[in-house]
Every structure is written in C-alpha cells, then in structure tokens.
Amino acid sequence: MPVYNDFGKFILRFSVGFLMLFHGVAKLIHGVGFIKMTLSNAGLPQFLAYGAYVGEFLAPLFLILGFMTRASAATIIFTMIMAIYLVHSKDLFAITQTGAWAIEVAAFYILTSIVIILVGPGKYSIDKK
C-alpha cells in the first residue's frame, strides 16, 4: 500500500499546483497592476506585486514537480495570506449567496499547502530522498 501514499501525495501536490498555476498564468498575461494598486492602498511598496509571479506561478510549478516542495507550499501559504489581507480582509466571516465561505478558495490553498508541508513530497518528486 505505500505506493498509494506516494501517489496520493503526488495527486495533492499536482492539484494544488495545477489550480494555483492558472492564477499565475493570468498574472503573466494581464500583469500585476491590480496588485500594485492594492499594495499602494495598503501603504506597502508596489514592487512587492512581483512576488505574485513567484507565489502563483513559480511555486505551483515547483510543487507539481516536487522540487523544493515544502518551501513552495510555504510560499503559496504566504501568497494566500497576503491575498486575504489585501483583498479579502472584510470577507473573513462572510458567506456568499451560494452558502460558501467567502475566502474558501484561499483557505483551500492554505490548508492543503499545510498538509503538503506536513506529509512531504513523496517518492514521485524531484525532492524524493
């Protein structure tokens, strides 16, 4: 049964990385202007917006490959915490019209990335021991 554990770890890494990668591709196509504006409104330096490329493109790609897995998962956690702080801070206790937690997508990325940090990359990864 150990093969299932490692395959499960791969599916988890792939799921988080693949889904987050779409956000990164959107930033590559459309830029980070919105993030710059949001950072500026929060009194933070605009150059931090370029971190979105790391947190939403590079880290997910590394996660899929299983390269620097725990650091990549931690980067995604930090990215989502920043997204909640900058854009969704008023939504922490909000429910959408369809009954979902307003920050459930960000929470999904945070919680699954925590699991990845705890369980490690598995043998189907560049990081395998």
pTM listed for this prediction: 0.93
Residue 3 has pLDDT above 70, yes or no: no
Query: pLDDT, tens digit, for every residue of 86-109?
Result: 999 999 999 999 999 999 999 999
If pLDDT is split at 50, 70 and 90, which confidence band does 26 have? Answer: very high
The CA distance from 42 to 23, in Å, is 22
Residue 129 has pLDDT above 80, yes or no: no
Q: In the 3-class helix/strand/coil scheme, how is the chain assigned residue by residue?
A: CHHHHHHHHHHHHHHHHHHHHHHHHHHHHHCCHHHHHHHHHCCCCHHHHHHHHHHHHHHHHHHHHCCCHHHHHHHHHHHHHHHHHHHCHHHCCCECCCCCECCHHHHHHHHHHHHHHHHCCCCCCCCCC
Using CA of residue 36, residue 38, residue 44, residue 49, what is the dihedral sign?
A: negative
Q: Scanning the structure block, which residue is given the tokens 């915490």?
A: 81
Exposed / middle / buried, residue 45 (Cβ in 10 Å: 0-12, 13-18, 19+):
exposed
If pLDDT is split at 50, 70 and 90, which confidence band does 45 have? Answer: very high
If pLDDT is split at 50, 70 and 90, which confidence band does 33 have? Answer: very high
Query: pLDDT, tens digit, for every residue of 46-86?
Result: 999 999 999 999 999 999 999 999 999 999 999 999 999 99
* Amino acid present at 38: T
